[in-house]
Chain A
Amino acid sequence: DAKTTQPPSMDCAEGRAANLPCNHSTISGNEYVYWYRQIHSQGPQYIIHGLKNNETNEMASLIITEDRKSSTLILPHATLRDTAVYYCIALNNNDMRFGAGTRLTVKP
């Protein structure tokens, strides 16, 4: 699996967009980028994933650079409930190893 690196923590103002970066410079051609989040005391929750193209769903958008060496998860209008640890994973063949993640704190 490609190793991912994320900033350990970020703050975001409520109502603003939260942009969470992830570097995966050793990603291989068949590895997808997955994002999960873990709200305190809960199991992790799937957010979104992508291979090459940008993706959007009801929770977030995923922007993957053309060389696929990095990506950004965008929460368009962050709320206090989005405070969580966000994990970026690059994987294939269901090898599900999590990195340290980014602790996002949304502030009023």
Chain B
Amino acid sequence: SAVISQKPSRDICQRGTSLTIQCQVDSQVTMMFWYRQQPGQSLTLIATANQGSEATYESGFVIDKFPISRPNLTFSTLTVSNMSPEDSSIYLCSVDRVGTGELFFGEGSRLTVL
């Protein structure tokens, strides 16, 4: 199994500010995924981040609001920009380490926007 570390684990932020969430994997992976999970809801895929190319965003998510970096095969960041209370969620990083669809997830970053 892959070990995935996310930072911060939780944060409380003010409206209008931005927060960058880091995802570190203990092995090289091609595909990384960022999800959002709002309170009491299922996971919603934000984007797929492959090293060496632009992230692919799902419908309803745009790069200006959720810029993603993928500088190498073990690291990615997701920034939540110009936050509003509606952005309060858990943000999860996941990887498909072996290319089989078996995803490994980080423990998530719980964001509260006041």
Residues of chain A having any CB pair with chain B under 8 Å: 32, 34, 36, 38, 42-46, 49, 85, 87, 91, 94, 96-101
Contact = CB atoms under 8 A, between A and B. Distances in A.
Interface stretch (B13-21, B66-74, B75-83, B95-103): B95-103
B106 A43 contact: yes
Contacts of A36: 103
Contact of B103 (A44, A85, A99, A100): A44
B87 interface: no
A102 to B, nearest CB: 11
A98 B101 contact: no
Contacts of B102: 34, 46, 49
B104 A97 contact: no
The listed residue with most B CB atoms (<10 A of its CB), out of A91, A98, A100, A101, is A98
Interface in B42-62: 42-45, 48, 58
29 contacts: A32-B101, A34-B101, A34-B102, A36-B103, A42-B107, A43-B4, A43-B92, A43-B105, A43-B106, A44-B43, A44-B94, A44-B103, A45-B105, A46-B102, A46-B103, A46-B104, A49-B102, A87-B42, A87-B43, A94-B31, A94-B96, A94-B99, A94-B101, A96-B45, A97-B58, A98-B35, A98-B42, A98-B43, A98-B45
A73 B100 CA distance: 19
B94 A43 contact: yes
A38 B96 CA distance: 17
- 3 closest residue pairs by CB, A with B: A43-B105, A98-B43, A46-B102
